[in-house]
Structures are given as C-alpha cells and as structure tokens.
Structure 1
Amino acid sequence: MTETYRRPTARIHIESRECGPEVLERLTGATYFPERLLGPAIVTTVCRAGGHLLYVTAPSVIDGEEQVDYYLGLLLGGARTADRESLRRMRELVTVLPLDDATTRWLSTKVLDPVSPRAAAVRSDLHEFAELHRSAGADVRLSYFEPSKPLEELARALNLPGTQPLSAHIPLGTKHTGRQIFAAAGIPVPSGSGVCHDPGALASAVAGLAATGVRELVLKLDSTAFGGGLGNALLTLEDGIDAPGGESVEERVARALPGAVLMDPKLTWHEYVTLMKDDGVIAEEMVTQVPLLSPSFQGRLTERGTVEAVSTHDQVLAGDGQTYHGCTFPAAADYRRQLIDHGLRVGEVLRERGVGSGDYGVDFLATRSGDGWRLLGCEINLRATATKHPFTMAVGLLGVEPTPDGRLEVDGVEYVYEASDVIMERRYQGLRPAQLIEAVTGSPIGYDPVRKTGVVLHLMSPVTEFGKFGALCIARDRAQAASLMRELRDLIDLLTPQS
C-alpha cells in the first residue's frame, strides 16, 4: 500500500498577551510571556511533526541556545546524551527571532512598529518564511495566544490563517456577557448584578444582593483586559448592614465599597472607580462553601463548524482564591464528564453567536451537592488559557490525544501532571536558565522519555531578573506529580544560598 501523504508543517508563533500594557506591568515577569509556549511548539512542531518553526520573542530568550537544545532533547533522552547528528538536524528546523524590546507593549505591536528597523527586519523574515514554506506545499499557520486586531492585520499581510477567534468577538468574553452565555447554555451561575458604571449604581446593586442574604461578594471589572483575576475586588458586608436605621442599605454599602480588597495591589479604589466608568463592574456572590474547587475546561471551535473538547484541569489558585498559579490534569473524575458537557454547551452557544474557530476556555466553581458535585459557571475566555502550554507539552511528549473522558493514556497506562507558572523565590534572582536546565537534566527527576515521567521546565528567562520560572511534572498519579514538584523546589534551593 502507498503511504498516505502527510502535508509538511510550518508554524510562526507570536504568543502575545494582548491585555492592557498597564496590566502587564503589574504581573511579575510578564514581559517574558511570549516565551511560555516555546517548549511545546518545539516538541509538537519540530520533534513530533518534523516541521519548521519560527518563534518570535521580545525580549530575547535568555540562554536561548541552551533552552532550544533542552526542548529538542526531551524525546531523545536529554540534549547531553542525544545523538549529535539528530540534534543538529532538528536544530536547523528551529528559528527563534528576538526583538530586544523589554517594554510592556504587546509583542504584536513591537513586531508591527512602523519606525523600528529591527521590527521591519523581523517582518521581512516572517514574509520570507511564510512564502518559502507555502511554496513548498506546507501547511503554514500563524499561532498566537489571543485575538487582537494587530495580529489579524499581520496574518492578512502574511496571507496566513490564524489560530484564534476573531477580535470582533472579544466582547463575548466579558463577565456580564459570560453570565448570559452560561444562562443560554443552561448552566447555573452565582447570583449577581448587571453592569454598573458608577459607585452609586454598584451600591444599589450590592444592596439588592444583600437583601437576599449575600454578605461576601466579588466585584469584577467587565473587561477582558484584566487576566488572572486582577480586575476583581473582594467585598465583605457587615451582618447588620440591612438592619433598620437612619441610613439606607445603599448608603451603608456605598460607605463599605472603598474598603473592598483589590486583587491588583497597585490599583487604588479611585483608579478602580475610573475603570468602572469605562468598563463597568458586576457584583457577584462569592461562593464560600467548603470544599470549593476551580475546574476549567478548554475547548476549540473548528473550521468545520464543530465544537471539540481539548482538556480539563483543576486550577491551583493563590491564597486569595482569585489568581491563577498553576493546574493539575485532568480535572477530578467526580465531575469531569459534567465539566466536559458544560464546556461543550458553552462552545455551542459561542458558535451560534458567530464565533468561527479558535480556542476558548471556561472556568467553573465546583461545590458539593448531596453525594455529588454542582458546577457553577464562573468565566469564559475567548482565547487560549494558561493551561495550554503544559497540556500541549504533555501531549507532545506522550504522543497521544485525550480519551473521550479526558485522560492521557499510553499503552493502557494513565498519566497525569501538575504544572506551575509561579515557582518564585527572591533568592532565585540571578540564576540563569542554563543552571536550571543543568540541575534538572542532571538529576533523577528530569523527564525520562522511556518512563514518560519527570520534570519539564518552562518560562525560564524570568528567573534571572525576577526569581521566577515554571515547570510541568508528569507522573502516573497525583501523589507522584506533587512529589516531583516538591523535589524540584528542593533541587533549585540547593543552587542558592539560604537567607
């Protein structure tokens, strides 16, 4: 039989985080965000598909050659022990194209800068890469993290399809519209308000919720620009706020509002009110049941008009319960099928509302209900999410796709993982990615392609300036994954003097 022809692959990655630059300034190490999918792109496009990769970053990847060799060597048993010729051939398929620009502007804006000679040179390289591989019959695409008009402009200029929904659909990812989509999908949500554009309207809305017994609330900027919960504020009302007295409930709430705890510590209440005028704020009951989990669903709308489940995770949040730090895969079996069902239903509503193709994510709250679990809709992201890079890396390393019930299984053996984007200590500042790589690959916890378990590093450049990096720990059960994460921290601690 004749082997089925497989079209060659070529990918351009511009993994720009397109939220407000002022927000990026507040996220530790966020200028290095475009680097987050470098490892997964190398493993999936180059190591697995034998394709060509052009990856754009700004600022430059620290210890870039060492990082590329590390990712190329993951399926070869490590860059130090891999066959030199195999590594050399694969290295020729990877181009990391840096702009030496460490500002908090979007990467897409840096690439499209009309006055920067370096940006002009990068654009020329992008056109050359796209035309070269398109003329060779390759499937060439522009991969990016979230939709934006600049990236769509670039995709049109390169005559390439993009990988995310159109930016015209971004409003579907706002908090209030998300609640409407959940309702259309038949998914319950916490009690909440409409959009309020001034403190008076917000006080009235909160007073209405207080009349139903709500005392703990989350105030959410109705904007897609604030990722990671940074647009939220936590408000606790006194038990007697609706008691009879000289003041109205609205007046009491109005006095309480400036005391809300802002998740972005660099924002003041005055600044929050200014943002409220433009973006609006919704008030939502804070679910405080114990246990309370934060599962998430990742889906994809395809060019064929279908909705596909990609992955499920349980999110690991900071102590404030609002900010994403990492995740475990897959989501708990107790509610995973329900999670997949709810996520697909949201995707169908998005498709009905005109979203053509691309990634989307749905966050939920999981609470106990009798002998089972109840899922409440929390947030919809019309883009890729922070769980994409560990999942893409795990799938690339294991060489499998998820089962219908959302597991990763190789030859009858199930694999799980724990991932973190926030392994951070002040004493790690000054370390270099090459040191992290040497420590992990020279230890028993480094990823082993034979056992298909171990630690994989990512987002390493921020460690030098900020003492921050990320890691994926693939294992055969959750306890082993958690143990690998602890051992990694212990290993890196040995590289630094104890304070």
Structure 2
Amino acid sequence: MQIDNCAVSRQTDRFRQLQNQLRDLWQSVDTFEQDDCDILVIPSFSIDQRVGQKIPGFLHYEERLLFSLIRLRNPHTRLVYITAQPLSPMIIDYYLQLLPGIPFSHARDRLLLLTTYDGSFKPLTQKILERPRLVERIRRALRPGKSYMVCFNSTWLEYELSLQLGIPLLASSPELLHWGSKSGSREIFAECEIPHPDGSPCVMAVDDLVIEAVRLWERQPQLKRMVVKLNEGFSGEGNAVLDLQPIQHVAPGRATQAERIAVLREHLENLSFQAKDETWATFSSRLPELGAIVEAFIEGEEKRSPSVQGYIDPTGKVEILSTHDQILGGPDGQVYLGCRFPANDAYRLRLQELGMKVGQALARRGAMERYGVDFIAVRQPGNSPEWDLQAIEINLRKGGTTHPFMTLKLLTNGNYEYTTGLFYSQHRREKYYIASDNLQKPHYQGLLPHDLMDIIAKYRLHFDSSTKTGTVFHLMGALSEFGKLGLTCIGNSWAQAEALYQQVEQVLDAETKLMSDTSNLHLSSSLPISWT
C-alpha cells in the first residue's frame, strides 16, 4: 500500500494549526476552563482492548470522566459527552445536582449526551469515526473557534476525530506516545537522572526478551524476581512477575549463559500474571505488536506505591497538580485499585521535585495536558528512615488519580499548594480523600442506579456542599451487572476520609444483605407452588 506523503504532511500541518489555537487562547488552567467555550468529552479508553476485556465493567469506565459535568457550573460553558451505550438519566441527574448555585434545568440545557449504541470492545473513538452521521451531528453542535476536545488518552483515533471535527485536541499529539510507554519512560528517567530500576529496552520477540532477562540477572545476581511488562500495558494488567528462586541452580556463577537462556525460556511458562485468565501463550502473542521490557522487581518489607500528577499547558508551562499513595492489589500488588490523597509527607515534596523534572522533559518534546509518574517507595528496616524512591512509569493520559482529584478541585473551588503538597478549600481547610474504582462485591450485583440513590438519601451518604465533605460516586452503571462501584470520600483529614469510606461499605453491605435475605425468603416460599 502506497502512502501519500503529501496528504500525511497536510494532515500533520492541520493538526498543529488546531493545537496552536489552544496556545493562543491559553492563560491558565482555571481561566481557560471557565471561558465561554464548548467542551467535547471523549472518554474513550483507546488501548489494547484485550487488556480492557480483563477488567470487570470496563465499558463503564467511560463514566470516570463524568466529573467534567461539574464544569457546567459556569453558566456559559456547554458540554458534549459521548458514550458507547446510553447513560442512565439518574446518573446524569446525580452529577448535575452537585452544581452549587446553578439551576438544574439551566445546566441540563447546556449538556448534550450522545451515544453510539455499540457495546463491542472497540475504542469509543473508533466507534464514533465509523458513524459519519454522528460525526456530523457533533460538528454541528460545536461552535467554531470556541470548542476543544478532551479525552482519556490521545491516539491516532483521537487525532483523526480532531481533524474531522476541525477542533483542537487538548492532549499530547500521538506522535509522542512513545514517551508514555514503559521503554520511553525509562529513557526520560535516565535523561533526568531520576532513580529507576535496572531493566531493558523494548523488545518485540520472545528470544530477545529472554536474552535481556539473562543480561539483567547477570548484572544483578542477587535478584529474586523480575517484572515483564508489555510496553503499553494498562493499570498493571500488562505486567507479569518472574520468580527466579526455582531456577537458582542456573544463577550467575553456577551455570553458563547458554544454560541460563535455555532454562529461563522454559521458566517463562511460570510467570505470575496480574490479569485474570492470562497465560504465557496469550501474553507472548502480543509481543510482536506491543513489545515488552524486563525490569528488576523492587523488594522491600515496607513498600508503597506513590505517584505524582502534573499538567503541561499549551504554552509549555509545567505545574504539579497532586501526589497520591496508590492502593494496589492483584497477585503481586501491581494492579491499581485506588488512591489516598495527598501522598505521605515523608516523600510528597520529593515526588513533586521529580515529577517537575519529568514534566519539563515532556514539555520540551511538545507534550500537553495531564501526565502522571508512578514510583515505588521502599524503606528497609534498621537502615536510614529515608524512603528510597524509584520511578516506574510515565502515563501520558488521565489516570486513576485524575477523576478523584478533579472532583475535589471542582467541588471545593480550592487550590493545591506546591510549598506544602496539600490542598486547601476556599476557607483554608486542608482536604484529604480516599478514592477507589474497585469497591466490588458479588452481593452488590443487581443494584440499579435508582437503588443506590435511595440508599444514598436514606443514610445521607452524599457530598455536603456546605462542609465540602462526603462521598462522590462514579461507575454507577457497573453496579447491576458487576457489583462494582467507584467512590471518592472527601474529608478534612485522612481519618475522616477513611471513616466515610468505611461507612459507605458498611451501609451497602447491610442493605444488600437485607435485600438478599428477603429475596431468598420469597424464593423459598414460592418453591412449593405447582404449575400442573
């Protein structure tokens, strides 16, 4: 297939012209978002859908960007939100009722909800592009020169939609995707002299992966475990851990390199996968497409997983938005479950410093909008009380810490202060939260959004706009089928935030157990009925 280089060049020039519109308009994050503009929200997870299918309720993750509806508090802002399947009107009503001082009907009139009616495991943006009439309807709904598009992550799909609509994409160009990959992250860490685990460049074949793993083992003979990562994995689901203990008989100094290569290749069958139902056969089949790296597994009796989130505005200015301690799960503790804000005061300022270096390196490459950097923090007993920070990866997308922080910011009108690493409300109260995408239990299945609203009202679990504390729910569409819910519990201390989280969980457990017992009673009483 012959590529029309002239056409590609014209597209590239057109995309850059659109991006330059953002640079011309930009003054600051806050003033830009409060301007008289139309915001097109594309909550498409444009990732390897084989990874997405392993996450329960993955299609409902499009609801994570519904915090964007809070921007309708500005009476001149209009918002277009597109999903694969229709959203429950109850969910939309819930978010609009959070808006302080704005009549519900006024906000609803400035919100346009569109859907593709397509529940397949394709990226949402691909579904939109496959429907030209829908693209045309979106184009007609947006005001020329006053519109921009936001997304979960920027790929060539979002690039194409931006061009077709003729509006700028407030995100990094997909030409920069490499810097958000595992291997690209390692390159930036090395450039910025940020500590990170020993590891390999990206490889595209199993043979090369084995060789890089052997080389890593030879450099670090004391290693107990390694991590094999798909170069474009998501939320830890593309990671697998290789335990070296069972093959210590071929450790460096005990066998030849050829023997290590042979044994290690066979031992890859015993990888511990983070994703459910993953096997070496399915994992290795993606290497030629996605590539992979191998990295030293960081051991430690006391270990945490902090992260820092930054923002690069269209002029290239870098700002630190937040720090978090991530809550991880899965077989080896590498799957994102939730977060605590802010990160521990023992290392939050250091996180900011390292995050700023990464942001500046990304900005020099032309990156734009949000980015995140994940770390491992380890403190060994008996040694210095200092935490050792090792950078793990860069995310050029809205991550799991984006929606809870933006929910806090938009609902409280407060500010994050770089000097302390703390967030303060307008009345100078420190704010803390615990957030999760994974409050999931089998007995929550069958709960409808309307049922959840009844429970929220009965037990007063809602966010209180007068005290700026309480719980904000998301992923409500995943409750009925998957028994899965997301929530951000905002308090004036970590203790208060944790108490709010525990209250929600206890209430849901009690309510669903009560309904389950009632249902079983009705079921047992109906069994003797004869239909003959």
Q: TM-score if structure 2 supplies the norm length?
A: 0.84
Q: Does 1:274 align with 2:285?
A: yes
Match of 1:487 among 503, 515, 525: 503
- Partner residue in 1 for 2:95: 71
Q: Does 1:329 align with 2:345?
A: no
Aligned mates of 2:394, 2:234 — CA distance in 1: 11
Structure 1 residues 233-276: Cα deviation after superposition (integer angstroms, max 9, x where no partner): 11111244326368822223223221111222333212222222
Identify the range of structure 1 (66-75 vs 163-172) with the bigger mean alpha-carbon deviation. 66-75
Match of 1:122 among 134, 159, 175: 134
Q: Does 1:165 align with 2:176?
A: no
Amino acid across the alignment from 1:340: Q
RMSD: 2.2
Structure 1 residues 393-429: Cα deviation after superposition (integer angstroms, max 9, x where no partner): 1101111221123321122210100000011112212
Tell me by how many angstroms 1:201 deviates.
Answer: 3.0
| SS of residue in 2 equivalent to 1:264 | coil
Match of 1:292 among 274, 299, 303: 303
Match of 2:416 among 390, 402, 412: 402
- Partner residue in 2 for 1:205: 212
- Partner residue in 2 for 1:241: 250
Alignment of 1:417-432 (within 5 A): 417-432=433-448
Tell me by how many angstroms 1:75 deviates.
Answer: 4.2
8 A contact 2:200–2:295 mirrored in 1:
yes
- Partner residue in 2 for 1:350: 362
- Partner residue in 2 for 1:416: 432
Q: Does 1:174 align with 2:181?
A: yes
Count of aligned positions: 472
8 A contact 2:241–2:271 mirrored in 1:
yes
Alignment of 1:14-53 (within 5 A): 14-38=42-66, 40-43=67-70, 45-48=71-74, 50-53=76-79
Structure 1 residues 298-324: Cα deviation after superposition (integer angstroms, max 9, x where no partner): 112211121111221111111431111
**5+ residue gaps in structure 1?**
77-82, 114-118
Structure 1 residues 95-119: Cα deviation after superposition (integer angstroms, max 9, x where no partner): 2212211111111111111xxxxx3
- Partner residue in 2 for 1:257: 268
- Partner residue in 1 for 2:125: 108
Distance 1:8 1:277, change over 3 A: closer
Aligned mates of 2:68, 2:204 — CA distance in 1: 42
8 A contact 1:48–1:396 mirrored in 2:
no
Tell me by how many angstroms 1:158 deviates.
Answer: 2.1
8 A contact 1:147–1:167 mirrored in 2:
yes
**5+ residue gaps in structure 2?**
1-30, 518-532
| SS of residue in 1 equivalent to 2:503 | helix
Distance 1:493 1:141, change over 3 A: same
| SS of residue in 2 equivalent to 1:331 | coil
- Partner residue in 2 for 1:79: none
Aligned mates of 1:75, 1:382 — CA distance in 2: 29
Match of 1:457 among 468, 473, 490: 473
8 A contact 2:176–2:367 mirrored in 1:
no
| SS of residue in 1 equivalent to 2:171 | coil
Q: TM-score if structure 1 supplies the norm length?
A: 0.89
8 A contact 1:440–1:455 mirrored in 2:
no
- Partner residue in 2 for 1:189: 196
Aligned mates of 1:245, 1:413 — CA distance in 2: 61
Q: Does 1:318 align with 2:329?
A: yes
Tell me by how many angstroms 1:50 deviates.
Answer: 4.8
Aligned mates of 1:279, 1:201 — CA distance in 2: 14
Aligned mates of 1:372, 1:50 — CA distance in 2: 49
Structure 1 residues 422-459: Cα deviation after superposition (integer angstroms, max 9, x where no partner): 11112212111121122113323321111111111011
8 A contact 2:325–2:344 mirrored in 1:
yes
Amino acid across the alignment from 1:193: S
Aligned mates of 1:66, 1:197 — CA distance in 2: 46
Distance 1:372 1:129, change over 3 A: same
Match of 2:228 among 219, 234, 240: 219
Aligned mates of 2:428, 2:485 — CA distance in 1: 33
Aligned mates of 2:287, 2:139 — CA distance in 1: 41
Q: Does 1:98 align with 2:109?
A: no
Q: Does 1:149 align with 2:156?
A: yes
Amino acid across the alignment from 2:199: G
Q: Does 1:384 align with 2:398?
A: yes
8 A contact 2:250–2:259 mirrored in 1:
no
Identify the range of structure 1 (364-373 vs 334-343) with the bigger mean alpha-carbon deviation. 364-373
Amino acid across the alignment from 2:135: R
Aligned residues with identical type, % of pairs: 30
| SS of residue in 2 equivalent to 1:367 | strand
Amino acid across the alignment from 1:288: E
Amino acid across the alignment from 1:262: F
Distance 1:344 1:105, change over 3 A: same
Aligned mates of 1:408, 1:49 — CA distance in 2: 26
Tell me by how many angstroms 1:295 deviates.
Answer: 0.8
Identify the range of structure 1 (394-403 vs 275-284) with the bigger mean alpha-carbon deviation. 275-284
- Partner residue in 2 for 1:116: none
| SS of residue in 2 equivalent to 1:402 | strand
8 A contact 1:59–1:100 mirrored in 2:
yes
Distance 1:54 1:200, change over 3 A: closer
Structure 1 residues 372-408: Cα deviation after superposition (integer angstroms, max 9, x where no partner): 2221110011122111111111101111221123321
8 A contact 2:78–2:110 mirrored in 1:
yes
Tell me by how many angstroms 1:48 deviates.
Answer: 4.6
